[in-house]
Amino acid sequence: MTVVVAEARGRGGETSFLGTVAPARRDGETLRWSRFLPATEAEGPGPRAAVWLQGCAVHCPECFNPQLWAERGGRVTDVAGTAAEWVAQAAAAGVEGLTLLGGEPFDQAGAAASVARAFREAGLGVMTFTGYPLDRLEGWVAAGRDDIAALLEATDLLCDGPYLRDLPDARRPWVGSRNQGIRALSDRYADDVRRIAASGGDDRLEVRIDRDGVVAVNGWATDAALAALLEDLGPRADSPAQVAAHARTRAEAAR
């Protein structure tokens, strides 16, 4: 079942293509990623593993994760070994599926498809977030992009389209703006999609605080709500500059 979608273009300024330019085809043997959680309940239906890929060419203004735009940074690892390790951790955590988000999974479509297939083969579902609208992805598939086809084929639930800050969506979970789609690409999550189409749903935000006081946040909240929360809690674990400043402050206080 398909929910929404009106595609929106050209609101991102000079540095943003908002998903209108085809991603480059990349090496499918390695994966560049930032963070993996074996279990979360804020990134899709039910308890799920989640991986944040590093690198995004879509550049939505006021993106929730701009630290994940750069194609440098993060970790680069062998896809097969990494996928096997993540499947094992997810199975041990007893989760229902995997969510791929970013960063931009389709900017590493071949490698992301390999990870998705590994979870599928273990009987788990796959949800993928992308800033590229589905009709553009399908157009690139028709033009011969088998790596994009492979990731779509291995995805059960797709949230697609760029985040547009002037179209905030307070009704549906997981997505940030009303132009974005929530689409069941297989039967696995079709009931969830029907329920959301009929009555919407709530966003969730998870906060983890380690022993050093570094805060890791995932899920979705408005910019204002997130800023207020982090102001109270401390530096984000996925913001190296904040973490370094926090460590300096602690070191100075300990002298």
Which residues bind to ligand SF4, rule: CB under 6 A?
A: 56, 58-60, 63, 65, 68, 102-104, 131, 162-163
Cα distance between residue 40 and residue 25, in whole Å: 30
Closer Cβ to ligand SF4, 87 or 133, answer by number = 133
Residue 58 or 193 with smaller CB distance to ligand SF4: 58
Q: Which is nearer to ligand SF4, 64 or 122 (CB)?
A: 64
Q: How far is 71 from 53, CA to CA, in rounded Å?
A: 10
For residues 134 and 5, the answer to whether their CB atoms sit within 8 Å is yes
CB 152 within 8 A of CB 124: no
- Contact indicator for 49, 97 with CB cutoff of 8 Å: yes
Q: Which residue's CB comes closest to ligand SF4?
A: 131
| N residues, the chain | 255
Residue 59 CA, chain-centre distance (Å), reads 14
In the sheet that holds 125-129, the strands lie side by side as 2-3, 181-184, 157-160, 125-129, 97-101, 48-53, 30-40, 75-78
Which residue number, 56 or 148, has a Cβ lying nearer to ligand SF4?
56
Token pair of 122 as six digits: 């273990």
Structure tokens at 142: 């028709």
CB of residue 135 to ligand SF4, shortest distance in Å: 16
Pick the closer one to ligand SF4 by CB: 80 or 230. Answer: 230
